[in-house]
Amino acid sequence: MCGIVGYVGARSAVGIIVEGLKRLEYRGYDSAGIAVLHHGQLHVRRAAGRIKMLEGVLGERPLSGALGIGHTRWATHGRPSEENAHPHTDCEGTLVVVHNGIIENYLEIKERLLAEGHRFKSETDTEVVAHLVEHHLKATGRLDWAVKAALREVTGSYAVGVVSTAAPDRLVAAKQGAGSVVVGLGQGEMFVASDIPAILAHTRDVVVLEDNEVAVVTADSVELSTLEGEPVRRASVRILWDPIMAEKGGYRHFMLKEMHEQPRAITDTFRGRIAPDAVRAVERVVLVACGTAFHAAMLGRTMMERLAGIPAEADLGSEFRYRDALVGPETLVVAISQSGETADTLGAVKAARLKGCPILAITNVVGSALAREATGVLYMHAGPEIGVASTKAFSTMIVATYLLGLWLGRHRGAITAEDVKKRIHDLVEIPRLVEKTLELDGQVAGIARELAGARDFLYLGRGLQFPIALEGALKLKEISYIHAEGYAGGEMKHGPIALIADRLPVVALAPRDGSYERMLGNIEEVLARDGQVIAVVHAGDRAVAAKAQHVIEVPACADLLAPLITVIPLQLLAYHIAVRLGCDVDQPRNLAKSVTVE
């Protein structure tokens, strides 16, 4: 997934675009570029690597102009390099394109354009859009018509920005499939971006493009229409986030800041409003998600069964979308996605809608593609999550499924009003207990110092702690690049136990729940084979303390909410190990904050 920023107005575009790209760098950061139109000419600067590399190029060869577009890339087609960095130009260098998504039929288009004499300079799929628009601009004479004609030939997903010397007062943007385009409304200036944090310093009022739509943006106007030319009217949305919320706020990394925001984020979520009004005759729930969100979906399955008394299952978006699932109008599909732009989750939702399923979205981004696809939306109100490794979004996803379970349970008569009241009280306790658990930072940092050199980790959990074992392993993998596996404790004897030797670090989640005794057995099995145990237990647990090499004592809480507490030391452990190893915690290699491609 990539980041796009455009500007048209009276100020210099360069600084606005570069600062906006920095706020989108979490979307992709293997190369970056900018194009600005000045005195009737387009000037392009690009660089491989982070945006600071582009800033270096701009320092040596400055640009000026009041209309421009910029891009920070997560490579799909074509390795990360300067020649593959966006913006891409047409043959004459009079038109530039930036793009997020995938042009699926780019090879056949490229062959045709090469035969017509077009000269290509990159390995990317994006470059075909620049030459297609060039082709249609010669035929139509109007940039917006040329962009529409070009994109009607394209199959795939895109969020694009186009600027041409043929239209020196405007920028054309378009959207199809995953990947957002928002237009920020200023006074005598307009902004275009892939995501809200890029423009929040300039305006809170945005217009969100939907699929198959094109925006023509000048300093004073935004005109929306469909690819086929039908005018579109769209009200603007006022963003309530405070720009500072998207900054580090004095923390060394976004991830650390967002771990510490979990208490407030959890509070904001349960203050949120639930309005899933299309879930009356629900007989079954399928929760679909990817990555960390899938781990929340696994927990959500238990919330549905224990609180709402509804049979439920959790499935990976990438699996559900292709398995022709036996679902229908009686199946509520709950799609969980922080960004609301994850292609596999969106694909699963589209597949479910074709089968007549009502869709409830649990997402953190207002106006995201998922929010727009769904029948009902439950916003997490976690605030912007910038760190690629998801923390507060994960916690608030769990809270959202808990609230949904209570709401459904109440409306189905599966739980009493009294029980709901007690469960809400249990939830209100959690922010304080998370704060308390975050105080273990120093102890966990010490454990990280000892274990940062390990090559492999095993995480074990049972019941509600199994998804947390998976989540802890994912956190470690994605920010420290150490191999880590999450496993159901009961499965260890069916294979992974062969891994236990030579002080292999095994994180064992052993709160005093229904699986406690069996987890003690796992811990004994690990110790008997020279593994080293990092046990997460309830405060005061002496049995485990006498055995394990490292014991992290967390506060006890209501059983269904225990994952909100036990995940915290695992987040901290991954964070401190990654910092010790000198990894880029907020923008780990090969990853992006939202995976809008398959």
Stretch that binds ligand AGP, among 51-59, 81-89, 155-163, 339-347 (CB under 6 A): 339-347
Position 396 contacts ligand AGP (CB under 6 A): no
Position 430 contacts ligand AGP (CB under 6 A): no
Helix axis angle, 562-580 to 417-438, nearest 10°: 20
Tell me if 241 sits within 8 A of 182, measured CB to CB. Answer: no
Tell me if 528 sits within 8 A of 520, measured CB to CB. Answer: no
Range 508-537, binding ligand AGP (CB under 6 A): none
Tell me if 382 sits within 8 A of 398, measured CB to CB. Answer: no
∠ CA 356-358-361, nearest 5°, is 135
- What single-letter DSSP state applies at residue 440? T
Which H helix or E strand runs over 139? helix 127-140
Position 126 contacts ligand AGP (CB under 6 A): no
Q: Which candidate, 419, 348, 340, 402, places its Cα nearest to that of 596?
A: 340
Helix axis angle, 562-580 to 392-411, nearest 10°: 170
Position 339 contacts ligand AGP (CB under 6 A): yes
Cβ neighbours, 10 Å, residue 45: 24
Position 384 contacts ligand AGP (CB under 6 A): no
What phi and psi values does residue 37 have, to the nearest 5 degrees? -100, 125
Position 207 contacts ligand AGP (CB under 6 A): no
Tell me whether residue 2 is one of the annotated catalytic residues: yes
- What is the spatial distance between Cα 405 and Cα 302, in angstroms, rounded to a whole number? 9
In the bound state with ligand AGP, the residue whose beta carbon lies nearer, of 365 and 492, is 365
- The answer for 570, left when phi > 0, alpha when psi is -120 to 50, beta otherwise, is alpha
Position 206 contacts ligand AGP (CB under 6 A): no
- What is the spatial distance between Cα 306 and Cα 10, in angstroms, rounded to a whole number? 58
Stretch that binds ligand AGP, among 18-26, 50-58, 64-72, 335-343 (CB under 6 A): 335-343
Which residues make beta-bridge pairs with 362?
Answer: 336, 378
Per-position DSSP letters for 411-425, written without gaps between them: HTTSS-HHHHHHHHH
With H, G, I as helix, E, B as strand and everything else as coil, classify residue 320.
helix
Amino acid in position 72? T
Q: How far is the CB of 198 from ligand AGP (least distance, A)?
A: 17
Cα→Cα distances 98→43, 164, 175, Å: 14, 12, 12
Tell me if 362 sits within 8 A of 336, measured CB to CB. Answer: yes
Position 338 contacts ligand AGP (CB under 6 A): yes
> For ligand AGP, how many residues bind (rule: CB under 6 A)?
15
Q: How far is the CB of 274 from ligand AGP (least distance, A)?
A: 19
Taking CB positions, which residue lies at the least distance from ligand AGP? 291
Helix axis angle, 392-411 to 417-438, nearest 10°: 170
In the bound state with ligand AGP, the residue whose beta carbon lies nearer, of 81 and 337, is 337
In the bound state with ligand AGP, the residue whose beta carbon lies nearer, of 191 and 294, is 294
Question: 478, 513, 553, 586: which one contacts ligand AGP (CB under 6 A)?
Answer: 478
Stretch that binds ligand AGP, among 46-54, 291-299, 324-332, 420-428 (CB under 6 A): 291-299
In the bound state with ligand AGP, the residue whose beta carbon lies nearer, of 157 and 345, is 345
Going by their DSSP bridges, the two strands 95-103 and 156-164 should be labelled as: antiparallel
Position 203 contacts ligand AGP (CB under 6 A): no
Stretch that binds ligand AGP, among 49-57, 108-116, 289-297, 554-562 (CB under 6 A): 289-297
Position 594 contacts ligand AGP (CB under 6 A): yes
Q: How far is the CB of 513 from ligand AGP (least distance, A)?
A: 25
3-state helix, strand, coil in the chain (%, to 5): 40, 25, 40
Position 31 contacts ligand AGP (CB under 6 A): no
Helix axis angle, 262-270 to 417-438, nearest 10°: 170
Answer whether the bond into residue 511 is a cis peptide, omega within 30°: no
In the bound state with ligand AGP, the residue whose beta carbon lies nearer, of 394 and 402, is 394
Position 290 contacts ligand AGP (CB under 6 A): yes
Q: How far is the CB of 598 from ligand AGP (least distance, A)?
A: 12
In the bound state with ligand AGP, the residue whose beta carbon lies nearer, of 216 and 564, is 564
Question: 89, 331, 390, 587: which one contacts ligand AGP (CB under 6 A)?
Answer: 390
Stretch that binds ligand AGP, among 193-201, 353-361, 382-390, 422-430 (CB under 6 A): 382-390
Position 389 contacts ligand AGP (CB under 6 A): yes
Q: How far is the CB of 89 from ligand AGP (least distance, A)?
A: 32
Position 588 contacts ligand AGP (CB under 6 A): no
Catalytic residue among 110, 175, 257, 593: 593
Tell me whether residue 593 is one of the annotated catalytic residues: yes
Position 399 contacts ligand AGP (CB under 6 A): no
Catalytic residue among 2, 357, 557, 583: 2
As annotated, the active-site residues are: 2, 593
Summarize as ranges the residues that interact with ligand AGP (CB under 6 A).
290-293, 337-339, 342, 345, 388-390, 478, 594-595
